[in-house]
Structure 1
Amino acid sequence: MNSYAVFLRGVNVGGITIRMAELKSALKSCGFSAVTTLLASGNVALLSDLGPAKVKSRFEECLRESFGYDAWVVVLTAARVAEIVDACTYPADDKSTHTYITLSSDPAMLDELFEAGSKPDGANPDGASLHRLGPEALAWLAPAGGTLESPFSKLSSKPRYKSSTTTRNLRTMIKVRDAAGALGES
């Protein structure tokens, strides 16, 4: 069995409400085991014999059938989540900034976001503080209390990126790393 972390896009925002107990039950009925939900924002650790691409496909199909919405997820192995967290040089806790990690199931979309977010322009005169953590992840900083107004947040929330990206703060990524890692140890 492989330990995975699955990050759902757009859950419990924008009219898509899923109770974590219902999500856990649906995923178990779709053949996943040791399903653990973390927080109410769509973070799941689970075990599966399937490879990452098959987990993604089955997981999205399960969400569509069980909850009736156009679901997208990013799937990473527990080991890869740990590598991403370890590669992030930004602080997990800082009073002046918040660290976010944008994950993507499509490296080309993340390349595009990274390039666009790194360019200085009128709204972002110095370019965003972006750090690529691998083909599926990049870290960025936002001022405390100003995440939604930050240029990169506005850029990454465009509909173009909806089906392939999702963002978590670093503190959440650490919790997911710990939960998915614990499943791999059992």
Structure 2
Amino acid sequence: MATKAYAALLRGINVGGSRKVPMARLRPLIEGLGHGDVRTYLQSGNATFTSGHGDEESLAAELSAAIEKEFGFAVDVIVRDHAYLASVVDACPFPADSLEGRQLHVTYFSGPVAPERFASVDPAEFTPEDFRLGPRELYLYAPDGLGRSKLGAVLSRPALNRGLIATSRNWNTVVKLAEMTGA
């Protein structure tokens, strides 16, 4: 199997003083699984690496199990390859070049997302906020940022995301991870 570049997106770590996963400990953990070129980005659970074995799902499961063993708590992990990450950047339905990174977010899902899942959410009720679905991602335009987004709060409800792992990143991080896996 040829070596491919991936990003691992860890959900819900290093927030509010709990579930600490120091990036300085995450890098050697990933290397110990046999992966190369390991780098981390920010403290919010983003790592890139290369691997010649496995697929996105098996790599995510492997990393999640290793984190639980090392740190003593379960962490949901989504792994995506460079081609997918670049396609998310290229397919952005909003004018990313004219927005601040904090105004645009992508929620990555562990599997495909049918439009019916979000049919009960009427974007017109949240104007100027808006969202669009991709195959395994959701783009959110929140002009006042995610922390103040009423639409973001509705879209993150557990009922809408049932059966899937979902984790969000701001546009700056989305672009950076695509760049890091493409180098």
Q: Scaled by the length of structure 1, what TM-score is found?
A: 0.82
CA deviation after TM superposition for structure 1 residue 144, in Å: 2.3
CA deviation after TM superposition for structure 1 residue 128, in Å: 5.1
Which residues of 2 match residues 1-186 of structure 1 at below 5 A?
Answer: 1-14=3-16, 15-49=18-52, 50-90=54-94, 91-92=96-97, 94=99, 98-108=103-113, 111=115, 114-117=118-121, 119=122, 124-125=125-126, 129-133=130-134, 135-145=135-145, 147-160=146-159, 161=161, 164-182=165-183
CA deviation after TM superposition for structure 1 residue 158, in Å: 3.2
Q: Scaled by the length of structure 2, what TM-score is found?
A: 0.84
CA deviation after TM superposition for structure 1 residue 96, in Å: 10
5+ unaligned residues in a row in structure 2: which ranges?
none
Aligned pairs, how many?
176
CA deviation after TM superposition for structure 1 residue 126, in Å: 5.1
Cα pair 2:140 2:152 within 8 Å, conserved: no
Which whole-Å CA distance do the structure 2 matches of 1:27 and 1:60 have between them? Answer: 10
5+ unaligned residues in a row in structure 1: which ranges?
none
Which whole-Å CA distance do the structure 1 matches of 2:175 and 2:101 have between them? Answer: 20
CA deviation after TM superposition for structure 1 residue 165, in Å: 0.2
- CA 1:10–1:116 in structure 2 vs 1: closer, same or farther (change >3 Å)? farther
Q: Look up the SS of the partner of 1:154 in the other structure.
A: helix
Cα pair 1:92 1:171 within 8 Å, conserved: no
* One-letter amino acid of the counterpart of residue 169, structure 2: R
Structure with greater contact order relative to length (CA < 8 Å, sep ≥ 6): 1
| The 10-residue stretch of structure 1 (162-171 or 135-144) with the greater mean CA deviation from structure 2 | 162-171
Cα pair 2:101 2:172 within 8 Å, conserved: no
Cα pair 2:123 2:130 within 8 Å, conserved: no
CA deviation after TM superposition for structure 1 residue 30, in Å: 2.1
Q: Look up the SS of the partner of 2:43 in the other structure.
A: coil
- CA 1:114–1:181 in structure 2 vs 1: closer, same or farther (change >3 Å)? farther
Which whole-Å CA distance do the structure 2 matches of 1:106 and 1:89 have between them? Answer: 20
| The 10-residue stretch of structure 1 (48-57 or 168-177) with the greater mean CA deviation from structure 2 | 48-57
Which whole-Å CA distance do the structure 2 matches of 1:96 and 1:106 have between them? Answer: 25
* One-letter amino acid of the counterpart of residue 133, structure 2: R
Q: Look up the SS of the partner of 1:74 in the other structure.
A: strand
Give percent identity, aligned residues only.
28
